[in-house]
Structure 1
């Protein structure tokens, strides 16, 4: 007798697999991981001290609604506490947004290439991903995204700065998109790298919330705050949308240590943002050096740079590994290279010089 096969959702077979950035293999020489957009700095000593204290309470459930953190985030952005929803990183909160807005037959519009989790979280909901090609300079083509909106569209995702290409969406073009998208369609502005932005024309999501009740802003503590392993992010939204996100949350999703570390990081924000400033300076140095060896790099506003390598992507990834550096390759398209230690960045630039167009 043949054992019965468990009946699973057919949609799962069509989901793309999320591929995390590879860790460096080492091999006795230098080994640097520039493949995951991580902050190369460890948490501040004050944050590590709070984590040590929080670890003593791991036998207890955390505050399910992250009440203390929610109020601190609300004060930081000048919104009401009921407009803040915490979750397991910005991608976890995005999953809550999709579950709250989409079901089978609905459509979600986003730029492509953009954050590779987008088609996964959309597909899990049963909705259809509508991918709109980026402009040649790696920027969102917002006119084309608006044109892709139909009566089946429930959600539009805007990633600024765009992961993996780097440019930020400008404020005026975002306002134009919000004016043209139907008010009953939720627009998500994913600002996972907001703290790294230096483009004066770039959009900043929180000030737009009052006038645009269909807007949801996503932020995270993973990048600038260096808490990637703890998985804590948040959404800012109107109270009615925030209530819907809380309804789709996994109970106790944000751990006690994660809440404590995020609060401690906000206490030390000035010191942390000095580190962000150092990374921005290093990012700009790397871009200038890449231009010096023949590359046209899209304007980077996150903690990474993009090299449009096309068919040479996998060869470049292998060449980087040979000198002890891992980068994030997208075969046939290009490589996203995180900003890390200066020694790692110098190895990256030297290797990229041999692949310049």
Structure 2
């Protein structure tokens, strides 16, 4: 007799980007810069209160997020990173094992994990040939058991986006009975005016949930802070299933300070946007298939050569993120590190 759920063996483990001493890490879409000085000061001050429990309601940070977005605080739910918010969404919407979570594939690798951990049924729809969400096909795949749809834009790992027209049409087709989560973890890197912005649609669609994070552009990946903006009803449900005290006091203080220093932090996003164009153009010139990206990474569609490419990069002391049989995701870093990656890519025998 086993005391553990037998289905756990079938749940894929999350594969983090490898950290190898002496190698440049381009596998986890981290920002190579540290938090700014005001954020570091807030972290140090909050750490002095490490003997006290954090605010379980995350009130001050929720209020600060709401003010920055121009929404009522009742519409904000904060979690231990946006991955935690994803799992809370499944827990809040799926009760029966037959309840379905639908998403494109390939997309964020945490989606199948959080869905299956919560005991839900997974349904996937392939990306288009140009590595984008096929929202029409996703709408057609919705069944009476579908409870939650995840839409990642920019999509991790391909970097592609959905347009306002596509998303609006999708929401109109889906109707109000299914929660649609727009995962905008890389929102701050988007420069394409044709990319959807969930906040512009959220008032017209009460079933839309917008997910964002402090891990990327705000440089707080280690502190784990993400949030959702939703209807008051959905936000309240997310708060109910959140693990108490999961957002530390240090993380809350850092996120508030990051919002206060957003102008300085987000200035670096423009530099990343410039570099990603340069990196993609160089890869295209070298003969790689690389879709346009609106994130802080590029996607090399290498198919069965993905693992070989990653090993080749490792030989050049570069850690990238391969997805076996599909491709390789590479973080856009500093110009110097990007140049080292491009040199390795040019020397790879495909």
Query: Could you say whether these structures have the same fold, taking a TM-score greater than 0.5 normalized by the shorter chain as the test?
Result: yes
Of residues 58, 66, 90 in structure 1, which corresponds to 2:58? 66
Matched, 1:258 2:251: yes
In structure 2, distance between residues paired with 1:259 and 1:110: 30
**Alignment match, 2:324:** 331
Assess if the C-alpha contact under 8 Å between 1:304 and 1:339 holds in 2.
yes
Matched, 1:158 2:158: no
Secondary structure in 2 matching 1:57: coil
Instruction: Give the C-alpha shift of residue 356 in structure 1.
Output: 7.6
**Alignment match, 1:306:** 299
In structure 2, distance between residues paired with 1:279 and 1:40: 11
**Alignment match, 2:115:** 122
Secondary structure in 1 matching 2:48: helix
**Residues 100-143 of structure 1: CA deviation (Å, up to 9, x unaligned):** 00131111110000000000000011111111110011100111
Secondary structure in 1 matching 2:98: coil
**Alignment match, 2:183:** 190
Question: 1:41-190 residue pairs with structure 2 within 5 A?
Answer: 41-103=33-95, 104-190=97-183
More displaced 10-residue stretch of structure 1: 335-344 or 255-264: 335-344
Of residues 38, 49, 52 in structure 1, which corresponds to 2:30? 38
In structure 2, distance between residues paired with 1:248 and 1:19: 25
Of residues 10, 23, 41 in structure 2, which corresponds to 1:14? 10
Assess if the C-alpha contact under 8 Å between 1:24 and 1:321 holds in 2.
no
Assess if the C-alpha contact under 8 Å between 1:155 and 1:185 holds in 2.
yes
**Alignment match, 2:209:** 216
In structure 1, distance between residues paired with 2:4 and 2:226: 30
Assess if the C-alpha contact under 8 Å between 2:288 and 2:301 holds in 1.
no
In structure 2, distance between residues paired with 1:147 and 1:24: 44
Question: TM-score by structure 1 length?
Answer: 0.96
Instruction: Give the C-alpha shift of residue 355 in structure 1.
Output: 4.2
**Alignment match, 2:234:** 241
In structure 1, distance between residues paired with 2:8 and 2:175: 30
In structure 2, distance between residues paired with 1:112 and 1:123: 15
- Mark the CA change 1:356 to 1:215 in structure 2 (over 3 Å): closer, same or farther: farther
Of residues 333, 336, 339 in structure 2, which corresponds to 1:343? 336
In structure 1, distance between residues paired with 2:139 and 2:313: 38
Question: TM-score by structure 2 length?
Answer: 0.97
Gaps of 5+ in 1: none
Secondary structure in 1 matching 2:337: helix
**Residues 214-240 of structure 1: CA deviation (Å, up to 9, x unaligned):** 011100000000000000000000001
Assess if the C-alpha contact under 8 Å between 1:313 and 1:334 holds in 2.
yes
| RMSD (Å) for aligned C-alpha atoms | 1.1
Secondary structure in 2 matching 1:301: coil
Instruction: Give the C-alpha shift of residue 354 in structure 1.
Output: 3.6
Assess if the C-alpha contact under 8 Å between 1:293 and 1:356 holds in 2.
no
Assess if the C-alpha contact under 8 Å between 2:17 and 2:321 holds in 1.
yes
Matched, 1:319 2:349: no
Gaps of 5+ in 2: none
Assess if the C-alpha contact under 8 Å between 1:25 and 1:324 holds in 2.
no
Instruction: Give the C-alpha shift of residue 6 in structure 1.
Output: 4.2
